[in-house]
Amino acid sequence: MQPDTFTALVNKLEALGNDVMGVKGPAYRNSDDVLANFKRTGAELGIPASLVCAIFMRKHLDSILSWLRKRNPAGALDKVDFESGGEPLSGRFADIRNYVLLLAGCITEDFGDFLGLDEQAPADLAEPPSP
């Protein structure tokens, strides 16, 4: 895949992820805390919110893995995974992208700045020089 094609794909999935987060987020949290759903479930089960989030994310990854295992050997693609209620495959990727971001928030709240993002200077995030 060419870099410009990949960038276009990333941009589409980011836009879809933002749309999904805007619609599903408030319905799940029922609070001003974007992590409330994970915290409530974690408190009920006696586990950290970050573990709850990772488990919820795993469901979406499992759906993609199932889709890959069941893919038609001739290469035909079904754009909708009918066994999971008709959600398009792109929605699964958007959900996983959002769960990764939510998991980063959970880890930060559960363990502090364990991700080390506050320590990185902007230059550390720049692209490496071309060979």
5 pLDDT higher than 70:
yes
In angstroms, the CA 88 to CA 69 distance is 16
Please write the tens of the pLDDT for every residue from 50-97: 999 999 999 989 888 887 877 756 555 555 544 445 678 888 899 999
What is the number of domains present in the chain?
A: 1
The helix or strand, by DSSP H or E, that contains position 81, with its residue range, turns out to be strand 80-81
∠114-118-119 over CA atoms, to 5°?
Answer: 90
pLDDT tens figures, 24-35: 777 777 778 999
Tell me the average pLDDT across 39-43: 94
Q: What is the C-alpha separation between 60 and 99, in angstroms, rounded?
A: 9
Q: Which domain holds residue 91?
A: 3-113
Residue 10 resides in a domain: yes
Mean pLDDT, the chain, rounded, equals 80
Greatest alpha-carbon span in the chain: 52
On whether residue 129 sits in a domain, the answer given is no
106 lies in some domain: yes
* Rounded percentage of the chain residues whose pLDDT exceeds 70: 76
Is 48 part of any domain?
yes
d(CA 108, CA 106): 5
Q: Which two tokens stand for residue 129?
A: 């020089």
Q: What does the alpha-carbon distance between residue 41 and residue 102 come to, in Å, rounded to a whole number?
A: 14
Asked if the structure places residue 119 within a domain, the reply is no
Q: pLDDT exceeding 90 applies to what percent of the chain? A: 40
122 occurs within a structural domain: no
Region class of 72: left (phi > 0), else alpha (psi between -120 and 50), else beta: beta
